[in-house]
Amino acid sequence: MSAIAESPQIQVRRNRMGMWLFFVSEAFLFGGLLISRFFLWGNTRPELPQVVPLAITGTLLLSSFFMNRAETAIANDDRKTFQRSLLITALLGVIFFLGVMIFEWGWTIEPDGTFLLGNHIHPTSGVYGAVLYGMTGMHALHVVSGVVLILIIWNLGRKGKYSADDHWGVEATAIYWHYIDLIWVFFYPALYLIGTAVPAGH
């Protein structure tokens, strides 16, 4: 007996269910990192620059605006705005990633091509280093994956893949991107604002 084909609406509902189950599993991952921060740091935090974290946070939140704009545009068959907004979102995501890697982690490239960590806190700097690099590193990894997804749907959209009636790929990517932004809304104050700042050496 041949299987009965599902309607596109049912397929999208199943896709949404699967995606939200994925987000639940991700919540355990990020929730565990957040709990470890308060368990290991208590009511303290390492002394860290404040300007760059605030700037990259604003950049990431701004990217959510353009991601939403892209999703709304394709839902209204506005392909030009859709394509442009996706590229802006990807660019802002890259800026956020570089802000973490260069300014927060302090990565520099020596003339001989070797990488150096210029930050006064290293991954081996006790609980401060482990938590800081663990949380920012895991989040940065998700940002990179989000940028890759955005560029994939941008390329597919350039080839005429999506329309107002069929744009689940865009919707899924938008939900994922907003989820990443939401995680940072919790990570940012936990790492840079909450607790008494104390010096943390190598």
- What is the rounded distance in angstroms from the CA atom of residue 30 to the CA atom of residue 186? 10
Average pLDDT value for the chain:
86
| % of the chain exceeding 70 in pLDDT | 87
Q: Which two tokens stand for residue 53?
A: 């974290």
Q: Which amino acid is at 14?
A: R
- Assign 4 a pLDDT band (cuts: 50, 70, 90): low
Residue 86: what pLDDT?
A: 96
Q: Which residue has the higher pLDDT, 5 or 140?
A: 140
Average pLDDT of 37-43? 94
So where are the chain's domains? 58-195
Question: What DSSP assignment string belongs to 116-173?
Answer: EE-SS--TTSHHHHHHHHHHHHHHHHHHHHHHHHHHHHHHHHHTT---SS--HHHHHH
DSSP-assigned beta bridge partners for residue 117: 107
- What is the rounded distance in angstroms from the CA atom of residue 168 to the CA atom of residue 150? 13
Residue 65: what pLDDT?
A: 97
Handedness of CA 141, 34, 170, 67 (dihedral sign): negative
**Closest by CA position to 180, among listed 82, 57, 84:** 57
| % of the chain exceeding 90 in pLDDT | 57
Residue 39 has pLDDT above 70, yes or no: yes
User: In the chain, helix, strand, coil percent, each to 5?
Assistant: 70, 5, 25
Domain 58-195 has CATH 1.10.1200.10: no
Residue 2: what pLDDT?
A: 45
How many Å separate Cα 33 from the centre of its chain? 15
**pLDDT per residue as tens digits for the range 41-93:** 999 998 888 888 899 999 999 999 999 999 999 999 999 999 999 999 999 99
- What is the rounded distance in angstroms from the CA atom of residue 186 to the CA atom of residue 35? 11
**pLDDT per residue as tens digits for the range 88-128:** 999 999 999 998 887 777 655 556 655 555 556 777 778 88
